[in-house]
Structure 1
Amino acid sequence: MSSVQALILDWAGTVVDFGSFAPTSIFVEAFARAYDFPVSLDEARQPMGLGKREHIVALGRLPSVDSRWQARFGHSMSKEEVDHIYRTFMPLQIEAVTRFATPIEGVLPVLTMLRQQGMRVGSCSGYPHQVMEALVPAAAKLGYQPDHWVATDDLKAGGRPGPWMALANVIELGIDGVHRCIKVDDAVPGITEGLNAGMWTVGLAVSGNEFGATRDEYQAMSEAEIAARRAPAQKKLHQAGAHYVIDTLADILPVIADINQRLNKGERP
């Protein structure tokens, strides 16, 4: 029997949406539509993992964005401007997630195998509930249905990097110890979330936000290109405190085996 009882999984860049493009590309579009203001995809990726309104706030505070905003509007981004961008963002995001709901290659067979062994699959996201209500059924049609999901605005305590969404999964799934859970995420706030919840944490260096490539772009890269992009992603996730960093969720079986051995020796995250 596995000592690990549950995986608590992020969504975009972890289980679906290789490269985490549904959220990042829509931030670029929302800024453009709301204020005809350009932000780059690289800038949009920097606060990834936060709740989406918090993401807009953090994006506006980036020195590069803030300086351009002040030059254009004469002040830093205001609450009212954040609210307008968020209102613009929401319908675009709801539509986008249904187009980016395809499970990442190799993930579903691994999850099926683990569930057959009794593993529970929880999930949480930086997406708000309204977006998740579109993403969850779209992913289900393509074969992915977690045992439970929590959106970033479902809990009064808030979202990442706090532990609350991860812990809500522990309660709902009936897991008897947080040390028997593995939090898997492609972004730093999700790793911090898992650490704050007392869980083992696994970062994803290739399928998600830090690597930032589509599946087709990734497959077309040389080994040298892959290594050059993987290395900084691995470093950032390790520096965030991830206990393990792998390429994609499909690579998690050896990690679970190692954590089982550590748990059986009495180790804790």
Structure 2
Amino acid sequence: MNYHSPQHLQAVICDWAGTLVDFGSFAPTQIFVEAFAELGVTISLEEARGPMGMGQWEHIRTLCDQPDIAERFTQAVGHAPNNDDVTALYERFMPLQVAKIGDHSAVIPGALETLARLRGQGLRIGSCSGYPAVVMEKVVALAADNGLQVDHVVATDQVPNGRPYPAQALANVIALGVSDVAACVKVDDTAPGLLEGRSAGMWTVALTCSGNALGLTYAEYQALSHADRAVAHERVAGQFLTSKPHYCIPTIAELPDVIDAINARLKRGERP
């Protein structure tokens, strides 16, 4: 048997918050703030956004490792945050997350049309998230109520290692029956999610304006002038440089043109 490089894409693997739903990725970040506040530790929304894209226990651990937050934690609790404290915070976080996920569940404008167009081209739609399975169950149900469905979902606690490791993306490859990772595109609004796709050997597309990095609501984004949107796009794209995405676009609404471009590159024999 001879190896043949794929000539066209077979699957798109999307993140959820900030990519398909929850413009600005507010659901996870706001709850991190509230969970810390229950212990008397104040963190800002901007601080909470820092490690976004990781699994949520790892996200909390990373926050606690930041010197300023660790100092505030020590002052409030009486000792530096250890792994038991991280687990306790995670256990506070989870019920809040499940209870409030519906507050930030709106489908991102353009997502439904984009997925319909990609399916019309024969592409399968996979997905993964930094959310654990108990949260993803509710996210997926709410999305379905709003007309958005994917072909497969992998939560962060369903693999040995979450982002930036490639396990979630590769679990989608297996479940969707993809023949070659070069025939896959990973779409994400966070650096860990982009590194996940890169590590899995896929094409990667960074979303600059609908997710965590810009952190605006859809109304706030719409209120920006075209010039300000362009500036925001370039600024966030610069933040993603070290993750080496193949493409940077504002939102998932612009994805179909990128898919066409990647298919053209595959036909020329290029790979991610």
TM-score surpassing 0.5? Answer: yes
Indicate the TM-score class for this superposition, using the shorter chain for normalisation: over 0.9
1:83 is aligned, of 78, 84, 87, to 87
Cα separation, 2, equivalents of 1:192 and 1:54: 16
Deviates more, 1:131-140 or 1:180-189: 131-140
Cα separation, 2, equivalents of 1:230 and 1:67: 34
Q: How does 1:87-166 map to 2 (within 5 A)?
A: 87-155=91-159, 157-166=160-169
Q: How does 1:1-269 map to 2 (within 5 A)?
A: 3-33=8-38, 35-155=39-159, 157-269=160-272
Using structure 2 for the length normalisation, give the TM-score: 0.94
The answer for unaligned runs of 5 or more in structure 1 is none
Which stretches of structure 1, 4 residues or longer, exceed 4 Å deviation after superposition?
Answer: none
Structure 1 contact 238–244 (Cα < 8 Å) conserved: no
Structure 2 contact 7–267 (Cα < 8 Å) conserved: no
Using structure 1 for the length normalisation, give the TM-score: 0.95
1:230 aligns to what SS in structure 2?
Answer: helix
Structure 1 contact 167–197 (Cα < 8 Å) conserved: yes
Deviation at residue 239 of structure 1 after TM alignment: 2.4
Structure 1 contact 19–211 (Cα < 8 Å) conserved: yes
Deviation at residue 62 of structure 1 after TM alignment: 1.7
Cα separation, 1, equivalents of 2:80 and 2:65: 8
Deviation at residue 224 of structure 1 after TM alignment: 4.2
The answer for unaligned runs of 5 or more in structure 2 is 1-5
Deviation per CA, 1:37-89: give whole Å up to 9, x if none: 11000000000000011100001112321232234445321112111111110
Deviates more, 1:240-249 or 1:63-72: 63-72
Deviation at residue 133 of structure 1 after TM alignment: 1.2
Cα separation, 1, equivalents of 2:189 and 2:7: 24
Deviation at residue 101 of structure 1 after TM alignment: 1.8
Cα separation, 2, equivalents of 1:111 and 1:126: 21
- Residue-pair matches, total: 267
Deviation per CA, 1:107-129: give whole Å up to 9, x if none: 10111111122110000000001
1:232 aligns to what SS in structure 2?
Answer: helix
1:182 aligns to what SS in structure 2?
Answer: strand
Identity level (%): 50
